[in-house]
Amino acid sequence: MRVSQRIVEHLSRTIETAGLAADPFAHLVFAGAFPPDVYAELLAQLPADTYYRELKHSDAILPDGRSARLQFPLVPGNIARLPAAQAAFWREVAAGLTAPAVDRAYKAKFAASLEAVRRRPVDRIRLRHFPTLFRDLGGYRISIHPDSPRKAITTQFYLPADDSQMHLGTRFHARNADGSFREARAMRFAPNSGYAFAVTPESWHSVEPMRPDDKPRNSLMVIVFYDRGPLVEGFKAARASLRGWYDRLAGPRDAAPEGGEGRIERM
């Protein structure tokens, strides 16, 4: 069976069977998000730093002006920059993560939240899935924020090699009446784990600052946007493809500086 189909079957079942937590907002927590051998291959096939590009946002900017967050969008033009065997693997992963069956599983699980935000039945809500690899380095942090209203669902699969990075998980918050926040839940940055949540005005979350000696924080995010129609979506797809092909022509970037294996719109 192809890797893409294995991901579709396993992830769809994982989403369907995961319990939907409500505190502090609708979310799922995944354990064993991928088949064990597929997870091992995800780690083995992670691109080198030179294939990633910086994501510039205020929380990630280091004193020297560089970004502590790197991204590798899993779009065709960008994947084509990789060596052939590696590119073939990530095409399979991207196909699995964006398959219709996975979309249906997400919409069924988060139907109430999606309908509340969009004010229409879930079967009339169209979504677009964008998988991206991230690599966060020492100094990276995310302030408390709910995510852009253009997003419908945020998913992050953690990709550590072992249990030594448990403290780097995302934190979920509830807003108090006085405007302050309380931490309601902290994810553990555990191997083959992750989470998903429906984006609402109350989906407050953050990441604590990474220490300089923390190993790179590798993850695979699937940002699910609301479909804004063929004109907007066609432009976005063309722009992403052109950027990927430009990067391919430009060749690999300079290696990351000493002190980290690696250094994009806020995720």
What's the pLDDT score for residue 232? 55
Mean per-residue pLDDT over the chain, rounded: 89
Confidence at residue 83, expressed as pLDDT on a 0 to 100 scale: 97
pLDDT tens digits for range 158-216: 999 999 999 999 999 999 999 999 999 999 999 999 999 999 999 999 999 999 999 99
Residue range 123-133: mean pLDDT, rounded: 96
In a domain, 259, yes or no: no
pLDDT over 70 for what percent of the chain? Answer: 86
Whether residue 112 lies inside any domain: the answer is yes
Query: Would you place residue 60 in the very low, low, confident or very high pLDDT band (cuts 50, 70, 90)?
Result: confident
Q: Does 267 reside within a domain?
A: no
The answer to whether position 266 is within a domain reads: no
Name the helix (H) or strand (E) containing 120: none
Q: Does residue 261 fall inside a structural domain?
A: no
- Reported confidence tier of residue 236, pLDDT bands at 50, 70, 90: low
- Give the mean model confidence (pLDDT) for residues 52-56: 91
Range of the domain at 222: 3-250
| In the predicted structure, residue 101 carries a pLDDT above the cut 70 | yes
Q: Does 265 fall in a domain?
A: no
Q: Are 72 and 79 in contact (CB under 8 A)?
A: no
Q: Looking at the domain assignment, is residue 256 inside a domain? A: no
Whole-number Å distance between alpha carbons of 65 and 56 = 10
- Would 258 be classed as within a structural domain? no
- Residue 267: pLDDT over 90: no
- Into how many domains does the chain fold? 1
- Distance set, CA 224 to CA 7, 139, 200 (Å): 17, 27, 13
Q: How confident is the model at residue 245 (pLDDT cuts 50, 70, 90)?
A: low
Whether the pLDDT of residue 265 is over 50: the answer is no
Report the CATH number at residue 226: 2.60.120.620
pLDDT of residue 63: 83
* pLDDT score, position 234: 57
Q: Is the dihedral of CA 66, 71, 77, 81 positive or negative?
A: positive
